[in-house]
Amino acid sequence: MRIGAVFPQTEIGDDPTVIADFAQAVEGMGFDHLLVGEHVLGADPADRDPPWTSVFTKDSAFHEPFVLFGYLAGLTASLELVTGVLILPQRQTALVAKQAAEVDILSGGRRLRLGVGIGWNYVEYEALGQDFATRGRRQEEQVRLLRDLWREETLSLSGEWDRIDRAGLNPRPGREIPIWFGGSSDRLLERAGRTGDGWIATGGVRAEQAGPIVDKLHASAQAAGRDPRSFGIEAWASAQDDPKRWAADAERWERLGATHISMTTTSAGFRSVDEHLEALRRFKAALG
């Protein structure tokens, strides 16, 4: 399996030197990829109806992934840059296609993996002018359009949410950037297996819970005439777990068909970036 690190969004701070040092240290330790989550806005949780239940609020710092990747592309040489995940339906499709193409080009090609999700933050959708209720169906249309924009010089499209009249990206990436899905609802798993290049186990899915999920992904891929062996799976490990579990859980995931695994150090109580990096070193050593 390829081994990655989750960027500690809410804890790393906003010093660009610290961010650069973290990414370069991750690459220097031999990690294959860096996975970055996102929120455009954080809500004030007070007096919400329905009540606010997420730990992420206006006090949770999130760096914007495409801008961050543009910065890190020039500071790293081989590290794959992964959105884990980008909330696609709250963003303009053509702009996402342009931003992703630019990151892929500036990182030398073949270094961006676009993980996409539909999110849960209705406040964010409202502020960005998008419909929270139709986000799943919109995501499917968006994925088709992203691939068309990366592949075609010009195109015309009149969809339910997007319209393009004989236009295209320039420059375009030299490939179709891989699109992986995050989420675990039945509809999402069906969509991922049918149309995605892979699945990211966001939301704390554990190895012991993953068997039925992987079965659904593979069944959807087979129903669409696809080879499940060509489908990627990104597992997560946590620094909050007993380190004795790390290797065993990774082996269990690999038996299920996982191709990637990433360690998250967020919310583990670390007080410095060095502590995050030390946990990543121990994880890398445990997996060999």
For residue 205, the model assigns a pLDDT of 87
Whether 207 is covered by a domain: the verdict is yes
Q: How far apart are CA 144 and CA 135, in angstroms?
A: 15
Whether 125 is covered by a domain: the verdict is no
pLDDT tens for each residue of 74-105: 999 999 999 999 999 999 999 999 999 999 99
Whether 49 is covered by a domain: the verdict is no
Whether 196 is covered by a domain: the verdict is yes
The torsion angle over the Cα atoms of residues 189, 193, 196 and 200, rounded to 10 degrees, is 50
Please count the structural domains in the chain.
1
98 CB contacts (<8 Å, ≥6 apart)? 169
Q: Would you give the distance in Å from CA 32 to the centre of its chain? A: 15
Residue 160 is part of which domain span?
A: 2-40+60-120+135-287
Amino acid, single-letter form, for residue 83: T
Task: State the Cα angle at 97 between 94 and 100, rounded to 5°.
Answer: 150
Whether 19 is covered by a domain: the verdict is yes
pLDDT tens for each residue of 161-204: 999 999 999 999 999 999 999 998 999 999 999 999 999 998 67
DSSP string, 253-269: HHHHT--EEEEE-TTS-
Distances in Å between the Cα of 59 and the Cα atoms of 35, 87, 89 are 21, 19, 24
Whether 178 is covered by a domain: the verdict is yes
Q: How far apart are CA 138 and CA 190, in angstroms?
A: 15
Query: Residue 86: which CATH number?
Result: 3.20.20.30
pLDDT tens for each residue of 223-233: 999 999 899 99
Whether 250 is covered by a domain: the verdict is yes
Sign of the CA dihedral 18, 23, 27, 29? positive
Amino acid, single-letter form, for residue 73: A
For residue 137, the model assigns a pLDDT of 94
Mean pLDDT rounded to a whole number for the chain: 96
Q: How far apart are CA 173 and CA 128, in angstroms?
A: 27
Whether 50 is covered by a domain: the verdict is no
Question: How would you class 61 by CB atoms within 10 Å of its CB: exposed for 0-12, middle for 13-18, buried for 19 or more?
Answer: middle
pTM over 0.85: yes
Amino acid, single-letter form, for residue 12: I
